[in-house]
Amino acid sequence: MAPQSKTLFEQFLAPIFSHLIDRDALVRLSESIDWETAVAEFTNPQVVYPNYYKTSNFHGVKHGYLNKDAALTYDPITQYVLPPGETWVRESLVKAIGGNPRRILDLGCGTGTTTLMLKGHFPEAEVIGLDLSPQMLVMADHKARTAGVNVTYRHGNAMATGLPAASFDVVCATLLFHETPPAVAKTILSEAFRLLTPGGQMLVLDGNQRTLRATDWLSTIFEEPFIRDYSQGNVDAWLGYAGFEQVRTEDVFWLNQLSYGRKPLPVAERAMEHEGEGVEVGLPLGQMA
C-alpha cells in the first residue's frame, strides 16, 4: 500500500470543516483587521515561547497558534467540537464559580469566548485573559470590542505570568491542558496557586480524561500532539500536587470534564469557616451558584 502522506485530520476533519465554514465571511473578517499593527500591539517582546509551543502543529495547523489563520478559524470550528453545545459546556465553568469574585484570570484564553462569558456573568469583576498567541489575542480583542465588553487581554506564558502573587479570586483554564505536556499543565497550576488569594478558586474545563482513555480514535483524529499524555494523567492529582484543597472533577456531558480546587485559607480563617462564620465553604460543583 502506498504511504499515506495526508494526516487523519487532513483526510477526514478538514474536508468536513471546510464545508461548515463560511469562507467569504472569514475573508471579510480577516480583511477588516490590520493584522500587522494589531499583532505588534499585542506582542510583548519579553515573552519567550516554550519549545512545545513553537514546534507543535495543533489540529494539523502548521506553526500552531502563531498565525492568523489559526485565530480566524478557531471559533468556527470549535462550535462543532463541544457536544452537546459550546455555550452549555463553557457555562458549566462559569456557573461553578462561587461568590462574587473581584478579579478573574483566564489562562490560555485563546479567542476569549470563555473570557467574555466570565465578564457577562460577573460584570463588576475585572477580567483578564492571557495567552501566548498574539494572533489569538487580536481575535479576542476584536470580539470584545465588537460586543462592547470591557476585558483586558495580555500576551504571556501561563507558566510564568509575571502578574503579582495573591491578586486573583478566580483563575481558570478552558481547553488548555490537553494542548500542553503534563509537566507544563502542572507548572501552570503552580503559577495559578501563586496568583490566587487564599480561598481563591481554580477551575479547569477540558477534555474528559476517562472518555479519552476509552476512545483512542478521538485522540488520533484530533491531531493534538499532547492529548494522549493528557488523557493518561489526572487533573485532580495535578491540582492536589499544586497545593489545592477541596479538589474534585465532574463530567460535562461525555467529552469534557470540569475540575475544581481551592487555595487553602490561613489556619485562623479556616477555624472560623468551620464555625460557619461567614466564609463560604466549597460545595459540590453541581451545587455551586
Ligand X SMILES: C[S@@+](CC[C@H](N)C(=O)[O-])C[C@H]1O[C@@H](n2cnc3c(N)ncnc32)[C@H](O)[C@@H]1O
Residues in contact with ligand X by the rule CB under 6 A: 53, 65, 78, 108-110, 113-114, 131-133, 136, 157-159, 174-176, 179-180
Q: With beta carbons less than 8 A apart as the criterion, state whether 248 and 272 touch.
A: no
Shortest approach of ligand X to residue 237 CB, angstroms? 20
Shortest approach of ligand X to residue 162 CB, angstroms? 12
Q: With beta carbons less than 8 A apart as the criterion, state whether 258 and 252 touch.
A: yes
Shortest approach of ligand X to residue 259 CB, angstroms? 14
Closest by CA position to 129, among listed 110, 101, 142: 110
| Residues 6 or more apart in contact with residue 264 via CB below 8 angstroms | 198, 199, 243, 244, 245, 270
Nearer to ligand X, 53 or 244 (CB): 53
Write out the three cell numbers for 16.
468536513
Nearer to ligand X, 110 or 199 (CB): 110
Nearer to ligand X, 108 or 200 (CB): 108
Shortest approach of ligand X to residue 101 CB, angstroms? 18
> Which residue minimizes CB distance to ligand X?
110
d(CA 74, CA 252): 21
Shortest approach of ligand X to residue 137 CB, angstroms? 8
- CA 182, 185, 191, 197 torsion: positive or negative? negative
Nearer to ligand X, 160 or 279 (CB): 160
Place of cell 484530533: 222
Nearer to ligand X, 138 or 158 (CB): 158
